[in-house]
Structure 1
């Protein structure tokens, strides 16, 4: 048996049947490296482990890392938030771009659609995918000094799945996760008991579900006053309809952010945002609509960063009459 197959065979001995099926698909050539990494990460297998399997088969893992220098202030021009900022109810990009600086998810989606652990260190399903158990990261604190624990995760998802509340995530969890389905196993372990088996459940508690940031169990609303979270930045100031600023969190559990400070300026329309970028009043914009994109794309002074997106346009056609 070739050496790389012996290594893979050894690694497989402690995996479940569901986890081994991903390796079987890769070995059979039915899926490629990208699909293997995505499938394995959803099942809770670590990216280093998946990368090791792929490397043993001579597959490029495609890992790269951006570099930069610490310090300074980054200024961003974004759309004015649509209303009071509350992670439970918000639905607009202006709101969640602010919250994402201070609050975090159990996991996040990378550009290749694999899942990266954040507040969860690992996760795994039971044999039929009806229960998903998440191991939580230890040593994490909220900005107010409270420890991050399983109670916070339980409260967050009970809040989001409560049909009597105003959660914007109810459409995500309907038929998937009910209030009471998120259960504490111990201080750093939670089990999601689903309404029905689901093989891609981790995406529902990732950044793909932008309401799923983890809030303290004690959260009662008024998020704008504190922007409480576990993230790399803390609130410095927030003025509705005007802007917000955040400073680097020196006690952040993970890799420290490079900028000392973030400054967000709110704009009610895209044209003033583009003018602000051209005038040097802001350093970046989040997105530019197609109808005005040429102004940005044709400027030699502006760098355009292209990322994969799930955004799409729909064409609705009537099917109740003949052409």
Structure 2
């Protein structure tokens, strides 16, 4: 009996060729975002994806024929007009992003800081979809100097993306925690409980933490063992989130993230970016406003 398409990934017949083609497109997209000055070659794509040169060459050639990629006389591979046209149509039909834009704009004005929408790509990653800016900064050059540009892919790995995990069941939580170094798991488990009870996650401020987050944004194609080592470094640099008894006096926050639910599951989050220290009451105000904004996007189960 042949496998059929269903909601459970374990019940579906895998399609390795599809995954390889998507990996190639993702590699070119990531390079265009994070390394815009690089002249991406076939060798770069081979290195970024881990695919063989022969497989990569065949996929690139087919995508060039389809207009999804371009390859010039020097061998540089870039996104093609066909892909960009399809992506533009897809963005125009994305109901979540369209609904989020006015909500993000209002939240940015209310808080006086940048905010963004991140959404789940699959079980392994999220992406930054849309930014909202305070009225005073819209169209300013600062919009181009964000740590995580639109289109950035972020792996759902410890210690980050907690608002995507805190409301999951025990098995999903366990798999996420298992990717952390053993000594960090008790703190991460407590942090997930705190996020679920409070309604939002908080990334804490340190200069070292910001630098590592910048580096993580460029690591979508780095081998998993190295990503795990960098994730461990992040945990060493800063305590993860705030537990209830730690939210007093002056506190720091790089970002505050609240979940957007679709059908009872977290499919996206709205993230405010204070990037500052403040009284605990002010952090609570930012968190409450972000939760309220995310609630406007959430849909009920069924």
Q: TM-score range with shorter-chain normalisation?
A: under 0.3
TM-score calculated relative to the size of structure 1: 0.24
- If you compute each CA radius of gyration, which structure gives the higher value, 1 or 2? 1
Q: Whose relative contact order is higher, 1 or 2, with alpha carbons under 8 Å and at least 6 apart?
A: 1
TM-score calculated relative to the size of structure 2: 0.25
Query: Which structure's residues are more often helix, by fraction?
Result: 2
